[in-house]
Amino acid sequence: MDKIRLTNMKFYGYHGVFAEENRLGQRFNVDITLEVDLAEAAATDDLTKSIDYGDVFSRVQKIVEGEPKKLLEAVAEQITTELLTAYSILQQCTVVLIKPDPPIPGHYDSVSVEITRSKVKNG
């Protein structure tokens, strides 16, 4: 399966368990891997046979900068659901949602979750 990757997308959102996170917000980085057959797009040089990177970015931005969630897992799940629904040619989607400098005791560079979801094939 071919892959499209969008890496280190940066957003500002209000997700987290702590009230300060919901009030003050913080940075989030997102990496996306889209698994799709790109043979037709490559052969025809036709964007309609692929996935528009700008559209992916906009959809992810709307979610990460949108309604606050408590858990990174919930945000990542919402992103995978949105992308799998939006693109009929998309077979599998992996989202890595990174919270740099999390407000937890200790010395952490970041925390992250990685979720992979696939379309269910019938028959």
Output the DSSP codes for 21-44: HHHH-EEEEEEEEEEE--HHHHHH
Q: What is the pTM of this model?
A: 0.93
For the domain made up of 2-118, the CATH class stated in words is alpha beta
- The long-range contacts involving 79-88, CB below 8 angstroms and separated by at least 24 positions, are 79/30, 79/32, 80/115, 80/116, 80/117, 81/117, 83/32, 83/34, 83/56, 83/59, 84/117, 84/118, 84/119, 86/55, 86/59, 87/34, 87/36, 87/51
Q: What is the pLDDT of residue 121?
A: 65
Mean pLDDT estimate for the chain: 94
- The domain ranges of the chain are 2-118
pLDDT(29) > 50: yes
Q: Which amino acid is at 115?
A: I
Q: What is the pLDDT of residues 58-111, one digit of tens each?
A: 999 999 999 999 999 999 999 999 999 999 999 999 999 999 988 777 777 889
HSE-up of residue 2 (Cα within 13 Å, Cβ side): 13
How many residues belong to the chain?
123
Q: What is the pLDDT of residue 49?
A: 97
Supply the residues annotated as catalytic: 99
pLDDT average, residue stretch 38-55: 97
Place of tokens 């009030």: 23
Confidence of residue 18 (pLDDT cuts 50, 70, 90): confident
Q: What is the pLDDT of residue 123?
A: 46
Structure tokens that stand for 106 in this block = 């200790």
